[in-house]
């Protein structure tokens, strides 16, 4: 069973968009804290929790308690995506008579706790967990608390209680975004070390400064510390926590307030401010511009793939691309599911298996069992029947569904009925099976044309650019419409994998910013471009955007 990686990623994006829609319509709300917990909510609702949207009070359901109740737009948006109510109802957020108030309320189906006063959600959850034990119920309580509310003494009283009574049927997730209502948490009441400047990267990246986990350990809790935006880390932490016995577990998830929107990220202002209506469409596009980078390990040392996987982990790759070649569909042979199974224990980073093999329908279960999180097959060796079977098998096993097309292949007509189910479309920009090829320039136009077709058929997955992608063309590939980028010799073939992945991200970020500046200009001319740029207060983003807008002639 896969981690449901792409479905969680797509649902988190969908939920973020609903947060913007709801808070913009209301003219108030809390997008920053809703965004910092987006992937956490996604993993809970779309992987771990048992519930029935048509029967919200089902007795054996798992319970989700949002203690940081001001982040209710993030809860409501995910409940809508999960099917508890129609997504259009998000337009009623904070309106008189609405079920969707400024804090969670029982009127809304799926809400388990009326969050308002901070600091009490953990106590409430422990009471629920103890009651479940007394009643011999096997449902689980999942509780999200904030770091700002951890200033409350009741949180620590509850921490002592949870340890004393060995509340192991409850998992707590701390959304550690380092920002509360008035400023940075480490300037108000430090949970780690006091922050003297405004550089949050000092806190986020320097593990020697993290003290909060030790505080919880001293209270007798099982503590798991993760990057709260890496789906695979959240998944692994939840699995570990739910398997722990006789000790309560807390996952300390380091997150970014406002994650996904540059001008909101790490900015205390966006704790409780809604976007202006004229800015909302730009944010909507920015949320569609999230991207991933995946090294292809066959471009490394084929005799030591274990080391290549480790280099990908150290390089902070989003996922690892595994090119499987059978010597029949393509000339070369690489490895098969047996090797992938050997590599799987080395990391929790998603494995993206690109099957360049004949008759993939006969082998897809082997790659599911090997631990692949995404499996892509080629349109050239499938038909409607075989791909339909592959799709159903992958979805049932919570594995991402991918389809690939060669440079001289167009999307076959039979594939159109499956486009809305696809998680990934690989557009090959070299002839598969041959190394050292240059990017085929005509792929730029091909990708642009595909975007139109995919949009018409409600494709909500990710286009992956694969073959000859490097620092000279990755920005243009992004502009074309690709959102996932495979790098062979350009990434894994380099000594400093982490450095080159960082350079890839910088090039893609430039292309993304240009796209957003153009969007602002198209919507409201130079005036809106300048208003949007003025929102970028953290770091040197504003200076960079002003210069970029000048170069583009939009300011």
- Any idea what the CATH number is for the domain that residue 415 is in? 3.20.20.70
Domain region containing 397: 292-494
> What letter would DSSP give residue 411?
P
Structural domain contains residue 157: yes
Can you give the pLDDT at residue 437? 84
Of the pLDDT bands very low, low, confident and very high (cuts 50, 70, 90), residue 200 is: confident
**Poorest-pLDDT segment among 136-140, 204-208, 385-389:** 204-208
> What letter would DSSP give residue 428?
E
> What letter would DSSP give residue 538?
S
Within 8 A by CB and 6+ apart from 422, the residues are: 401, 402, 403, 459, 461
> Tokens 């960082």 appear where?
502
Distance separating alpha carbons of residues 17 and 14, to the nearest angstrom: 5
Can you give the pLDDT at residue 501? 98
The domain boundary residue, chosen from 470, 494, 518: 494
Over residues 482-531, the pLDDT tens digits come to 999 999 999 999 999 999 999 999 999 999 999 999 999 999 999 999 99
Of the pLDDT bands very low, low, confident and very high (cuts 50, 70, 90), residue 448 is: very high
Contact 265, 259 (CB under 8 A): yes
Mean pLDDT of 287-293: 98
Within this chain, do residues 111 and 144 fall inside the same structural domain, yes or no? Answer: yes
Q: How many CB atoms lie within 10 A of CB 60?
A: 10
Structural domain contains residue 339: yes
Q: Is the pLDDT of residue 96 over 80?
A: yes
Of the candidates 330, 293, 253, which has an alpha carbon nearest to the alpha carbon of residue 488? 293
Nearest-Å Rg of the Cα atoms of the chain is 24
Contact 164, 170 (CB under 8 A): no
**Residue 208: Cβ-neighbour burial (10 angstroms; 0-12, 13-18, 19+):** exposed
In a 3-state reduction of DSSP, which class is residue 510? helix
Q: Is the pLDDT of residue 299 over 80?
A: yes
Within this chain, do residues 336 and 485 fall inside the same structural domain, yes or no? Answer: yes
Q: Is the pLDDT of residue 198 over 80?
A: no
Whole-number average pLDDT of the chain: 96
Distance separating alpha carbons of residues 352 and 402, to the nearest angstrom: 9
Q: How many CB atoms lie within 10 A of CB 377?
A: 28
Can you give the pLDDT at residue 43? 98
Q: Supply the CATH number for residue 153's domain.
A: 3.40.50.970
Both ends of the chain: CA-CA distance in Å? 51
Distance set, CA 324 to CA 17, 296, 298, 378, 451 (Å): 36, 11, 9, 12, 27
Q: Is the pLDDT of residue 298 over 90?
A: yes
Can you give the pLDDT at residue 543? 96
Can you give the pLDDT at residue 245? 97
Structural domain contains residue 553: no
Of the pLDDT bands very low, low, confident and very high (cuts 50, 70, 90), residue 182 is: confident
Strand order in the sheet with 249-254: 63-66, 141-146, 170-176, 249-254, 222-227
Within this chain, do residues 350 and 209 fall inside the same structural domain, yes or no? Answer: no
> What are 336's two structure tokens?
């098969």
Can you give the pLDDT at residue 443? 98
State the total domains in the chain.
2
Distance separating alpha carbons of residues 454 and 410, to the nearest angstrom: 12
Q: Is the pLDDT of residue 197 over 80?
A: no
Of the pLDDT bands very low, low, confident and very high (cuts 50, 70, 90), residue 423 is: very high
Structural domain contains residue 505: no
Within this chain, do residues 217 and 303 fall inside the same structural domain, yes or no? Answer: no
Q: Is the pLDDT of residue 297 over 90?
A: yes
Distance separating alpha carbons of residues 209 and 200, to the nearest angstrom: 12
Structural domain contains residue 203: yes
Within this chain, do residues 396 and 487 fall inside the same structural domain, yes or no? Answer: yes
Structural domain contains residue 9: yes
Pairing of strands 249-254, 292-295: unpaired
Within this chain, do residues 70 and 188 fall inside the same structural domain, yes or no? Answer: yes
Mean pLDDT of 236-251: 98
> What are 216's two structure tokens?
């919880």
Structural domain contains residue 401: yes
Structural domain contains residue 310: yes
> Tokens 């509340």 appear where?
167
Mean pLDDT of 117-132: 96
Can you give the pLDDT at residue 103? 95
Within this chain, do residues 390 and 313 fall inside the same structural domain, yes or no? Answer: yes
Within this chain, do residues 365 and 261 fall inside the same structural domain, yes or no? Answer: no
Mean pLDDT of 94-115: 95
The domain boundary residue, chosen from 441, 473, 494: 494
331 vs 348, more confident: 348
Over residues 48-94, the pLDDT tens digits come to 999 999 999 999 999 999 999 999 999 999 999 999 999 999 999 99
Q: Is the pLDDT of residue 435 over 90?
A: no
> Tokens 């991200």 appear where?
505
The whole-model pTM stands at 0.96
Can you give the pLDDT at residue 145? 97
Conformation bin of residue 433: beta by default, left when phi > 0, alpha when psi is -120 to 50? left
Can you give the pLDDT at residue 236? 98
Within this chain, do residues 154 and 232 fall inside the same structural domain, yes or no? Answer: yes
Distance set, CA 318 to CA 179, 229, 486, 501 (Å): 25, 11, 10, 10
Mean pLDDT of 123-149: 96
Within this chain, do residues 401 and 483 fall inside the same structural domain, yes or no? Answer: yes
Of the pLDDT bands very low, low, confident and very high (cuts 50, 70, 90), residue 193 is: confident
In a 3-state reduction of DSSP, which class is residue 315? coil
> Tokens 């000594």 appear where?
495
Distance separating alpha carbons of residues 352 and 369, to the nearest angstrom: 13
Within this chain, do residues 309 and 361 fall inside the same structural domain, yes or no? Answer: yes
Within this chain, do residues 342 and 240 fall inside the same structural domain, yes or no? Answer: no
The domain boundary residue, chosen from 494, 521, 547: 494
Mean pLDDT of 264-280: 94
Distance separating alpha carbons of residues 436 and 430, to the nearest angstrom: 9
């Amino acid at each position: 069973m896969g981690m449901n990686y792409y479905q969680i990623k797509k649902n988190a994006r969908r939920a973020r968009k609903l947060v913007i829609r709801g808070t913009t319509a209301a003219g108030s709300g809390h997008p920053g804290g809703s965004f910092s917990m987006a992937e956490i909510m996604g993993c809970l609702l779309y992987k771990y929790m048992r519930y029935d949207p048509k029967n919200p009070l089902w007795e054996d359901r798992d319970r989700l308690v949002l203690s940081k109740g001001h982040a209710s737009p993030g809860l409501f948006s995910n409940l809508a995506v999960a099917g508890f109510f129609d997504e259009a109802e998000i337009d009623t957020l904070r309106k008189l008579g609405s079920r969707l108030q400024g804090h969670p309320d029982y009127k809304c189906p799926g809400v388990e706790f009326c969050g308002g006063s901070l600091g009490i959600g953990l106590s409430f959850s422990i009471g629920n967990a103890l009651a479940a034990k007394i009643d011999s119920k096997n449902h689980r309580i999942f509780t999200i608390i904030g770091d700002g509310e951890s200033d409350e003494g009741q949180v620590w009283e509850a921490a002592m209680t949870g340890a004393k009574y060995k509340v192991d049927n409850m998992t707590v997730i701390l959304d550690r975004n380092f920002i509360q209502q008035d400023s940075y948490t480490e300037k108000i009441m430090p949970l780690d070390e006091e922050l003297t400047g405004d550089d949050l990267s000092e806190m986020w990246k320097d593990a020697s400064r993290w003290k909060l986990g030790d505080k919880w350990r001293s209270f007798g809790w099982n503590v798991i510390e993760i990057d709260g935006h890496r789906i695979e880390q959240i998944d692994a932490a939840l699995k570990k926590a739910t398997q722990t016995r006789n000790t309560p577990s807390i996952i300390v998830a380091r997150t970014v307030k406002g994650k996904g929107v540059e001008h909101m990220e790490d900015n205390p202002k966006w704790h409780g401010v809604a976007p202006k209506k004229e800015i909302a469409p730009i944010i909507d596009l920015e949320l569609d511009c999230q991207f991933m980078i995946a090294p292809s390990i066959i471009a490394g040392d084929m005799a030591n793939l274990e080391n290549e996987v480790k280099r990908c982990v150290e390089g902070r790759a989003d996922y690892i691309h595994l090119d499987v070649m059978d010597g029949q569909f393509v000339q070369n042979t690489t490895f098969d599911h047996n090797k992938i199974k050997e590599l799987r224990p080395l990391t929790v980073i998603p494995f993206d298996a690109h099957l360049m093999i004949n008759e993939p329908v006969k082998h897809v279960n082997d790659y599911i069992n090997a631990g692949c999180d995404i499996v892509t097959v080629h349109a050239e060796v499938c038909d409607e029947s075989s791909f339909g079977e592959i799709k159903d098998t992958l979805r049932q096993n919570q594995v991402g569904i991918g389809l690939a097309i060669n440079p001289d292949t167009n999307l076959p007509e039979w594939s159109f009925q499956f486009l809305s189910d696809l998680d990934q479309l690989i557009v090959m920009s070299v002839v598969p099976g041959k190394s050292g090829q240059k990017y085929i320039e005509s792929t730029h136009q091909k990708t642009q044309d595909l975007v139109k077709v995919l949009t018409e058929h409600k494709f909500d997955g990710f286009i992956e650019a694969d073959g000859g992608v490097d620092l000279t063309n990755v920005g243009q590939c992004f502009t074309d419409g690709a959102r996932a980028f495979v790098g062979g010799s350009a990434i894994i073939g380099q000594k400093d994998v982490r450095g080159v992945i960082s350079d890839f991200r910088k090039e893609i970020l430039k292309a993304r910013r240009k796209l957003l500046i153009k969007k602002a200009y198209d919507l409201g001319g130079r005036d809106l471009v300048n208003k949007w740029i003025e929102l970028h207060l953290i770091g040197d983003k504003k200076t960079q955007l002003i210069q970029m807008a000048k170069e583009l002639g939009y300011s």
